[in-house]
Amino acid sequence: MVDDKMCVGIVKDHLMARVGPEIYESVLSRPGCKPMDFTGRPMKGFVFVGSEGIDLEDDLDDWIQLSLDFNPQAKSSKKK
């Protein structure tokens, strides 16, 4: 979480990255990247990245930076 907004995380053995809808389609072509799908419907702007997409430290840094770049435009999670 960054500024009360989902940014990056680990789900089982995948990196979850919130990259935003503007670059969503273009990042899907990267190695190990696939749509984030929890409910049978992909969540636009969120991706899962497998180990082949983050096998180098620079790759991981890039995914984190993409998520941080989108964070200021992201909507905050609803507070309960």
Dihedral sign of CA atoms 10, 35, 37, 7 in order: positive
Radius of gyration in angstroms for the set of CA atoms belonging to the chain, rounded to a whole number: 12
Write down the pTM of the prediction.
Answer: 0.90
Listed residue (40, 43, 27, 34) closest to 13, CA to CA? 34
Whether residue 3 has pLDDT greater than 70: yes
Where are the domains positioned within the chain?
8-73
* pLDDT at site 79: 66
The position carrying tokens 């995948």 is 14
- Mean pLDDT, range 25-46, rounded to an integer: 93
Percent share of the chain, pLDDT over 90: 84
Given the DSSP bridges, would you call strands 33-37 and 42-49 parallel, antiparallel or unpaired?
antiparallel
